[in-house]
Structures are given as C-alpha cells and as structure tokens.
Amino acid sequence: MSTNEMPRDSSDRIDLLQGTLDMLILRTLLFGPAHGHQIAKHIQRTTVDVLQVEHGSLYPALHRLERKGLVAAKWESAAKDQKREFKYYRLTPAGKKRLAADESKWKRMSEAIGRILWPVR
C-alpha cells in the first residue's frame, strides 16, 4: 500500500496495515460527505503530515468501499465552481457499523501491542 508515514526522511516510511486506510476513510466520512482530495487532506492534516494518502491508494480504496456498500458516491457540482463536478462519498449505515467494529478491533490490537512494547513494571 503506498499510503505511508512521511516524516522528513523518506527512509522512515511505514506502510499502513492492511485495512487501516479503509478505516481512516470511513472515520473521515463520519464527519460528512467529502470528495477524494478532501478525504486525503483531512487525513494528512489530522495526523500532522505523518500520513499522506497517495491517489494510487485512495481511489482504489474508495471504489472497494463503494462496491462493498460501505460508502455511497454521487457526482455533484463544486461549491465554488459550478462547471466542475466532484464525486462525493458518504458513509452508509453498513459503513458506520463496519467502522465501529474496526475501531473496536484496532483498539484491542493497539492495547495488546502496547503491553508488549511498553510493559508496566
């Protein structure tokens, strides 16, 4: 997956775990409909530029989520430029349910890994 951590030195890149990008997209759409560029920018801003989602990862993930019925998409005119259209994605009820399940699994996994990396003595 080409969604990577992008600190100052590219040798510090870390690939996201399988399924993590999907969860981040679903979480972003919890705030309301957005087009792909907005989703990528939200993830980048929220993570203080640590995660930068490349288009080559983002759009296949959005299409996969749409095929699974977790997001719905609709072409709409841009607010500022009525001549341009963007594909806006929104979370479906099934997407909200999947997000809750994924967040629960993520929390359990990160707590378990944390206990190994930083054991309480």
Can you tell me the distance from the alpha carbon of 70 to that of 18, in angstroms, rounded to the nearest whole number?
17
Q: What is the pLDDT of residues 63-112, one digit of tens each?
A: 999 999 999 999 998 777 778 899 999 999 999 999 999 999 999 999 99
How are beta strands 71-77 and 51-52 bridged, if at all? unpaired
What stretch of H or E contains 5? strand 4-5
Count CB neighbours of 115 within 10 A. Answer: 10
Mean pLDDT of the chain: 87
Q: Structural domains in the chain?
A: 4-117 (1.10.10.10)
Can you tell me the distance from the alpha carbon of 117 to that of 89, in angstroms, rounded to the nearest whole number?
37
Please report which confidence band the pLDDT of residue 121 belongs to, taking 50, 70 and 90 as the band edges.
confident
HSE-up (13 A, CA, CB side) for residue 21: 27
Q: Are 102 and 23 in contact (CB under 8 A)?
A: yes
Give the global pTM: 0.83
Can you tell me the distance from the alpha carbon of 49 to that of 98, in angstroms, rounded to the nearest whole number?
26
